[in-house]
Amino acid sequence: MSRSAASSWGAAACLLLGLMSPRAIAGPIEDFYRDRVISLDVGAAPGGGYDATARLVALHLGRHIPGKPSIAVRNMPGAGGLQMSNYIYNSAPRDGGEIGMPQNGIAFEPLFHVLSKGGANVQFDPRKFGWIGNPVVESMVIISWATTPFRTYKDLLDKTMVTGASGIETDNAILPTILARVIKARVRLVPGYQGPNDLFVALERGEIDAIGATGYSGLVATKGDWLRDRKINVLAQFGLKPDPRISDIPMALDLARTAEDRRALELIFGKYQLTRSIFTPPGVPSDRLAALRKAFDEMTADPAFLADAQRMGMDISLVRGSEIDAVIASAYDAPSAVVERARALIAPGN
């Protein structure tokens, strides 16, 4: 082909591309998501922390996905998020058009069997979900009312603390139970309270001495005056790393008296790296999962997203999808003796 002919062909090709519609030349990811509504299924009821985080993500994530799809939140409460997770794994379309936000213990349920005896109701392998990311790493704390005798965790060694809980399978029952078993803390659980607000009212009224577990960021957002006016004491914090805002509060990890207990606690507390994680069903095309992960990472650095999160009292701390994969893989590689000790520490009962 002569130079002039090649030049004419190049000009014609450029003209043809210019005449084609944006849809015709869009990449496959953009083409798939354009005009689509992604369903974000939440394994919790409306009104709580999971729901609030999901709606914040739904408001911002679509702008960062090629094709700019809309995202609609659908609440699917039931069995601590087990119902939604089973659905996403077994029934949701495997094309990247439906995603889920489970509760933080779901990835560990096949190990710990908190929500069903022997894990009988688990119908998924958490290692096969497509983990997109987690915008929040929540520090859990145990708090007591300031007028009670419980000023530090050491007071639990010789006095019995009455602590309220939503149910025996919830963090506000499990975490004080762990303290009882690891450091011989004296606690008496009173289950049956209907969520955080009910527990806060009971604490203020003096019905209970303490709340066995609550998220520190949520506490700052909803009960900041309690912290400011020193109406409550923070006795211990639970997680893999200390919250820098309360670096003087002891870590439960550091209270472990044996290496076996510390390794078991590390396994248990790994779920707080997955506080508000989002996943896809297994088998979603790798390029779509990669696009969702990239969009999620970009969203957590978006000033508009961060401003909305700040207004909600939510501290953003990104855990990437690949990092979630690593946390879960490490948990399932744990020696059987460590897993058994972890189960023993969180099992209901005295």
CA–CA separation, 158 and 143 (whole Å): 17
Query: Going by C-beta distance under 8 Å and a sequence separation of 6 or more, which residues neighbour residue 41?
Result: 74, 75, 76, 84, 87, 88, 92, 98, 99, 100, 101
pLDDT digits (tens, 9 = 90+) for 316-342: 999 999 999 999 999 999 999 999 999
- Report pLDDT for 8: 52
User: How much is the pLDDT for 157?
Assistant: 95
Q: What pLDDT is recorded for position 17?
A: 44
The predicted model scores a pTM of 0.83
Query: pLDDT by residue (tens digit) across 251-266?
Result: 999 999 999 999 999 9
Series of mean pLDDT values for 10-residue runs along the chain (350 residues) = 50 48 63 97 88 95 98 93 97 98 93 90 97 92 96 95 88 92 94 87 96 87 90 95 92 94 94 93 97 98 96 89 96 95 85
The per-residue DSSP string of 58-75 comes to HHHGGGGSTT--EEEEEE
pLDDT, residue 222, reads: 80
Domains of the chain: 28-137+275-317 (3.40.190.150), 140-269 (3.40.190.10)
**Which residue's structure tokens are 């999901």?**
54
Query: What pLDDT shows up at residue 13?
Result: 46
Residue 75 has what pLDDT?
Answer: 95
